[in-house]
Amino acid sequence: MEISFDTLINIAGLFLSGSVGGFVAWKWQRRKMKAEAQTEEVNMAKAVQDTYQQMLKDKEEEVADKNRIITELREDRDHFRQDRNELRERIDKTESLVRELQEQVSENRREIDMMRPFLCGVLGCKLRKPVAISAAPSAEKPKKQTKKKEA
């Protein structure tokens, strides 16, 4: 059995074409798998990026809410400080008025104590003397009492 040269070339051609075809198919399949893997990696990276973007957005909203609350609290604090200062002013004015009134009461007591010896309950008493108070500028001079004529 002799194999002719043409047969050998045909067999070698079949073997080489099958090998080259298999090699090309294997390369093409490998590239396809790499492309699918890269596509899957890109999709996963996009999903991770979307998750991080959502987390970032949530944190920004949370920070904005906290900043709004802080601003409201600062406004409340300023309002309370203003109210406190107004109340302190009112307390100071009231205390000043109380001191003035206490001084006036003390002065009135001194004047009454000075006048007490000159006061007489009897209308027709000869010892009764008119008392003029010069220390109090707003005080009126006491009027002389006259006897009412009995009918």
Task: Please state the pTM of the whole predicted model.
Answer: 0.46
Alpha carbon distance 14, 19 (integer Å): 8
Residue 140 pLDDT greater than 80, yes or no = no
Assess if residue 11 is contained within a domain.
no
Assess if residue 65 is contained within a domain.
yes
For the range 132-138, what are the long-range contacts, defined as Cβ-Cβ under 8 Å and sequence gap of 24 or more?
Answer: 135/107, 135/111, 136/107, 136/111
pLDDT in tens, 13-36: 777 777 888 888 888 999 999 999
* Residues listed for the chain: 151
Going from the C-alpha of 137 to that of each of 29, 76, 93, 100, the distances in angstroms are 118, 49, 24, 16
Domain residues for the domain of 72 are 22-118
pLDDT at 58: 96
pLDDT in tens, 98-108: 999 999 999 99
The count of structural domains within the chain is 1
Assess if residue 142 is contained within a domain.
no
Residue 67 pLDDT greater than 90, yes or no = yes
Higher pLDDT, 141 or 68: 68
Q: Which two tokens stand for residue 82?
A: 């203003």
